[in-house]
Amino acid sequence: MVPRCWFWWRWSAWPRTRPPFAGSTPTPGLLQQFSTQEKTPQICVVGSGPAGFYTAQHLLKHHPQAQVDIYEKQFVPFGLVRFGVAPDHPEVKNVINTFTQTAHSDRCAFWGNVEVGRDVTVPELQEAYHAVVLSYGAEDHQPLGIPGEELPGVLSARTFVGWYNGLPENRELTPDLSCDTVVILGQGNVALDVARILLTPPEHLERTDITKAALEVLRQSQVKTVWIVGRRGPLQVAFTIKELREMIQLPGTRPILDSENFLGLQDRIKEVPRPRKRLTELLLQTATQKPSGEETAHQALASRVWGLRFFRSPQQVLPSPDGRRVAGIRLAVTRLEGVGEATRAVPTGDTEDLPCGLVLSSVGYKSRPIDPSVPFDPKLGVIPNTEGRVVDVPGLYCSGWVKRGPTGVIATTMSDSFLTGQTLLQDLKAGLLPSGPRPGSVAIQTLLRSRGVRPVSFSDWEKLDAEEVARGQGAGKPREKLVDPREMLQLLGH
C-alpha cells in the first residue's frame, strides 16, 4: 500500500498545467468574491451520472477557476442515462449533450475505470482535493426478503434493465422468455419500462440503442401476459401518466384492469393533487369505460395483454415441482390502513397464487456504502447529509440518489445537484474548506498507476462512442453499445 501522504512532497514539484476555463466567460467580479487560497479549488466528484455531471456543471459555472475531476467506475460516462433510461425513450438521453459540454471544459476531467472504494479510497481523495462530492447513485436492488427469491427465474428489474441497456456486468443474463406469463412486482416507472420492453413488438425496438443480444432474445419471446403487481391501490401507484399512456397505447397489446378496484374512487380523486388526479382518471377510464371504436379495433388485434393487480404483496416465490425454477408467486391480499401519504398495506390473511415463468422484482434501487470512513444510513440507504454536506465530515458532500434515496427523475436530480454545488461553494467562500494548494488528479493518477489501474479519459470515451455509432449505422440504430470491457480496452489500444 502506498503511504497515505506520499504525494505531498511530490506535489510541490508539479506545475499547474491546465489552461484557464475556455468554455465560458466568468461573471465579472466572480473571482474577487473568493480569497486567494480559494481561487483554484481542486474538487473531485465520484460518479458520472446526472448527479455527478450536474454538480460539476454548477461548480464550473459559478466558480471561474474551480478544477473538477469526475471519477467513474465504468469505462463509459452518464450512469443511468445510458444504463437505465429505456432504449425507446431516446429524447431523455439528450441530456448527454449538456454533460458532454461540461466534460469538454478545460477545467473538467473524466476518469473512467476507477472504482472509488476499491482503486482509491475516499480519504485518499480527500487528501488530494479541497472537496469531494459523492454522486455514486444507487447500484443495488432492494431485496424482497421472501422465501424463494433466489430461485432461477426471479430477477431484479435492475439486472434486467442493465441487460437490455448493455451494462457490462449484466451482458450475459439471457433471461428465459419461453414462458407465457411474467409477474412484475412493484408499480413504479421502472416496472412500466420493463413491461413495455417485454411487450413492445421487437420490430419497434430495432432502431433504438437496445443491445443486439437483448433484441434477439426479445424476438424469440413467448411472453403473452404481464402482470404488474402493487401492494397498495390505484391511488398509490408510483408510475406517472405519460408512462401509463404509453402502456395503454402499446401496439399489439390490451390492458386488463379490474373495475372492482376502482369502486368509489371517482369521489375520492376530487381531493388529491392534480397530477395524481389526472393519473387516476386515466386509470379509472381505462378500467371502467368502453373503449372507443378505434381502441376496440386496436385491442381486437392484440396478441399480448398486461394488467395491473392491486392490493397484493409478495409473500413467497413458488418453485416448479422439481424445485429448480420459479413456477409462480404467492401474494398476500392486502387492505389499506392510514390516510394520505402514510397509507400502509396490511395483509388480510388471504392469499392468491399467480402462476408465472418469470418474476421481475421492481421494488426500487438501493445505494451501497462506499468506504468505512463515510457515514451511511443502511435503513434509508443514503449518506446522512444536511443540504448536501455529509454530516460530521467537513469537505465531503453528496448529491443525487445517494443523497436523497433512489427516487426522482433526471430533473429532480439536477436541482438537487445544483443545491449541493451551491452549498460547497458557500463553504469555500466561508473558508470552511482546507486552505493551501491541493494536488488534485496529478496525485491520484500517480497513485492509480502505482496500483496498476489505467483510467480512461473523456476523449477515450469519445473514441468508443464513435465506434458504437459506426456499428449501429448499418442496422439503422443510433449506436450498438459495446458491452465487453476487454473489447473496449482493445479498441483504445490499452
Ligand X SMILES: Cc1cc2nc3c(=O)[nH]c(=O)nc-3n(C[C@H](O)[C@H](O)[C@H](O)COP(=O)(O)OP(=O)(O)OC[C@H]3O[C@@H](n4cnc5c(N)ncnc54)[C@H](O)[C@@H]3O)c2cc1C
Ligand Y SMILES: NC(=O)c1ccc[n+]([C@@H]2O[C@H](COP(=O)([O-])OP(=O)(O)OC[C@H]3O[C@@H](n4cnc5c(N)ncnc54)[C@H](OP(=O)(O)O)[C@@H]3O)[C@@H](O)[C@H]2O)c1
Point out which residues bind ligand Y (CB under 6 A): 185-191, 193, 230-232, 236, 238, 243, 313-314, 362-365, 406-409
CA-CA-CA-CA torsion sign (349, 354, 357, 363): negative
Which listed option, ligand X, ligand Y, none, makes contact with residue 236 (CB within 5 to 8 Å by class)? Answer: ligand Y
- The widest CA-to-CA distance across the chain, in whole angstroms, is 78
Position 69 contacts ligand X (CB under 6 A): no
Member of 18, 100, 117, 213 binding ligand X (CB under 6 A) = 117
Which listed option, ligand X, ligand Y, none, makes contact with residue 243 (CB within 5 to 8 Å by class)? Answer: ligand Y
Coil/strand/helix, residue 183: strand
Residue 144, marked binder: no
Using CA atoms, how far apart are residues 63 and 70, in angstroms rounded to an integer? 16
Residue 72, marked binder: yes
Residue 189, marked binder: yes
Note whether 419 and 403 are within 8 A (CB): no
Helix intervals (H) in 47-145: 50-62, 80-83, 95-104, 122-128
Residue 243, marked binder: yes
Using CA atoms, how far apart are residues 343 and 334, in angstroms rounded to an integer? 12
Using CA atoms, how far apart are residues 431 and 18, in angstroms rounded to an integer? 24
Using CA atoms, how far apart are residues 233 and 219, in angstroms rounded to an integer? 33
In the bound complex, which residue of the shown chain has the CB atom lying closest to ligand X? 49
Judged by beta carbon, residue 232 or residue 389, the one nearer ligand Y is 232
Residue 424, marked binder: no
Position 47 contacts ligand X (CB under 6 A): yes
Q: How far is the CB of 106 from ligand Y (least distance, A)?
A: 33
Q: How far is the CB of 320 from ligand X (least distance, A)?
A: 29
Residue 163, marked binder: no
Coil/strand/helix, residue 104: helix
Which DSSP category does 456 fall into? B
Note whether 225 and 255 are within 8 A (CB): no
Position 233 contacts ligand X (CB under 6 A): no
Residues 382-421 that bind ligand X (CB under 6 A): 400-401, 408-410, 413
Residue 306, marked binder: no
Which listed option, ligand X, ligand Y, none, makes contact with residue 309 (CB within 5 to 8 Å by class)? Answer: none
Between β-strands 140-141 and 365-366, what pairing exists: parallel, antiparallel or unpaired? antiparallel
Position 72 contacts ligand X (CB under 6 A): yes
Judged by beta carbon, residue 231 or residue 254, the one nearer ligand Y is 231
Position 84 contacts ligand X (CB under 6 A): yes
> What are the residues facing 69 on neighbouring strands?
44, 109
Residue 443, marked binder: no
Q: How far is the CB of 214 from ligand X (least distance, A)?
A: 14
Member of 7, 40, 45, 52 binding ligand X (CB under 6 A) = 52
Judged by beta carbon, residue 348 or residue 407, the one nearer ligand Y is 407
Which listed option, ligand Y, ligand X, none, makes contact with residue 47 (CB within 5 to 8 Å by class)? Answer: ligand X
Judged by beta carbon, residue 296 or residue 415, the one nearer ligand Y is 415
Judged by beta carbon, residue 354 or residue 453, the one nearer ligand Y is 354
Residue 169, marked binder: no
Instruction: Select from 2, 95, 3, 105 the least CA-distant residue to 51.
Output: 95
Which listed option, ligand X, ligand Y, none, makes contact with residue 404 (CB within 5 to 8 Å by class)? Answer: none
Q: How far is the CB of 114 from ligand X (least distance, A)?
A: 6
Residue 232, marked binder: yes
Judged by beta carbon, residue 133 or residue 269, the one nearer ligand X is 133
Using CA atoms, how far apart are residues 24 and 22, in angstroms rounded to an integer? 6
Note whether 94 and 50 are within 8 A (CB): no
Task: Compute the C-alpha angle 453/457/459, nearest 5°.
Answer: 150
Judged by beta carbon, residue 63 or residue 232, the one nearer ligand Y is 232
Using CA atoms, how far apart are residues 246 and 240, in angstroms rounded to an integer? 10
Stretch that binds ligand X, among 6-14, 24-32, 46-54, 259-267 (CB under 6 A): 46-54
Note whether 87 and 205 are within 8 A (CB): yes
Member of 7, 21, 34, 71 binding ligand X (CB under 6 A) = 71
Using CA atoms, how far apart are residues 27 and 33, in angstroms rounded to an integer? 11
Between β-strands 326-337 and 304-309, what pairing exists: parallel, antiparallel or unpaired? unpaired
Using CA atoms, how far apart are residues 78 and 49, in angstroms rounded to an integer? 4
Stretch that binds ligand X, among 16-24, 80-88, 260-268, 458-466 (CB under 6 A): 80-88
Judged by beta carbon, residue 109 or residue 195, the one nearer ligand Y is 195
Note whether 115 and 47 are within 8 A (CB): no
Q: What are the φ/ψ torsions at residue 312 (nearest 5 degrees)? A: -140, 125
Judged by beta carbon, residue 70 or residue 85, the one nearer ligand Y is 85
- HEC profile of 247-291: HHCCCCEEEECCHHHHCCHHHHHHHCCHHHHHHHHHHHHHHHCCC
Burial of 455 (0-12, 13-18, 19+ CB in 10 A): buried
> What are the residues facing 353 on neighbouring strands?
330
Which listed option, ligand Y, ligand X, none, makes contact with residue 254 (CB within 5 to 8 Å by class)? Answer: none
Stretch that binds ligand X, among 41-49, 209-217, 249-257, 451-459 (CB under 6 A): 41-49
Residues annotated as binding site for NADP(+)? 187-190, 231-232, 243, 408
Q: Which residues bind ligand X (CB under 6 A)?
A: 46-52, 71-74, 79-80, 84-85, 89, 92, 115-117, 135-137, 139, 161, 190, 193, 365, 370, 400-401, 408-410, 413
